[in-house]
Each structure stands twice: as structure tokens, then as C-alpha cells.
Structure 1
Amino acid sequence: MFFKRKGWLRKEYDESFLKTFNELKDKWNKKEVIVERSVDPSDAVLVDMKLAKVKYLFLLKEAKHRNISIRKMS
């Protein structure tokens, strides 16, 4: 009885995790496009892009640790 709830909660948190993962991926891609299109990007823009990349890579490692398939939600 209790184990079913655990599986349900895991699915709910995995879905939330994947939603956050996709949002960070989109933010990183948008910032990367801005840097590529700009002639002389400011330091703040470069820092924002690198920070978004690091957050994305962290969540990617976390997904691997949790054994979450990124493909299933794309």
C-alpha cells in the first residue's frame, strides 16, 4: 500500500524535474544564441550564459543519477 504511493510521488517529482530541465535547456539555448549574434557581448551576458550551462549540466547529471530518461518527455 505504501509502496504504490512512493512510486506515484516519484513520477510526480520526475515530471516536475523534467519540466525544470527543459526550461533550463531553453534558457541556455536562448542565451547562447544571443551571445553568438552579438558583436561584443558584455561580461554579464557571458556569465549568465555560463551559469545557465552549468545549471543544465548539473540537472543532466542528476537525471543520470535518478535514472530518468530524458527522451521519454521530449
Structure 2
Amino acid sequence: MLFKKKGKLKKEYDRLLLSQIDKMRLKWMNQKSIWDKCFDLNEDLEQKVKISKLKYYYLFKEAKVRNIKLDIKNK
């Protein structure tokens, strides 16, 4: 009974991680798009884009370490 909860929690946190990856990817792409269209090269905006990219790659790496498989059929 105790071990069944572990699998349920892992699935819940895996779904949460996948949703965070999607949100971070959208945030990174939006900031990158704004930075690409910007006439004035703002260093602050460039740093935000780099930070968003690093956060996205970190979450992606974490998903790989946790061996999360994306089920495309259910998406």
C-alpha cells in the first residue's frame, strides 16, 4: 500500500515537470522573438533571454534524468 503512492506521486510530478517545460519554452521563445525584433540592443533583455533558455534546458535535462517519456497520443 505504501509503495503504490510512490508511483502515483512520480506520475503527478512528471506531469508537473512537463507542464513547466512547456511554459518555459513558450516564455523563452516569446522573449527571443522580442529580442530579435528589438532595434535597441538592450543587455538586460538579452540576459533575460539567456536565463530563460538555461532554465528551459535545465528542466529538459531533468526530464531526461527522470526518464520521462512523452505520450504524444494523449496530447
TM-score normalised according to structure 1 size: 0.89
Question: Quick one: which amino acid aligns to residue 56 of structure 2?
Answer: Y
User: Residue 30 of structure 1 corresponds to which residue in structure 2?
Assistant: 30
Following superposition, the deviation at residue 71 of structure 1 comes to 5.5
Distance 2:14 2:22 in 1: 12
Following superposition, the deviation at residue 4 of structure 1 comes to 1.2
Work out the percentage of aligned pairs sharing the same amino acid: 36
Structure having the larger proportion of residues in helix: 1
Task: Say what the alpha-carbon RMSD is for the aligned residues.
Answer: 1.5
In structure 2, stretches of 5+ residues that fail to align are: none
Which structure 1 residue ranges, 4+ long, deviate > 6 Å from structure 2?
A: none
Q: How many residues align?
A: 74
Deviating more after overlay: 55-64 vs 32-41: 32-41
CA offset digits 1:14-62 (Å, max 9, x no partner): 1111111111000000001001111223000000000000000111110
User: Residue 17 of structure 2 corresponds to which residue in structure 1?
Assistant: 17
User: Residue 49 of structure 1 corresponds to which residue in structure 2?
Assistant: 49
Distance 1:34 1:14 in 2: 30
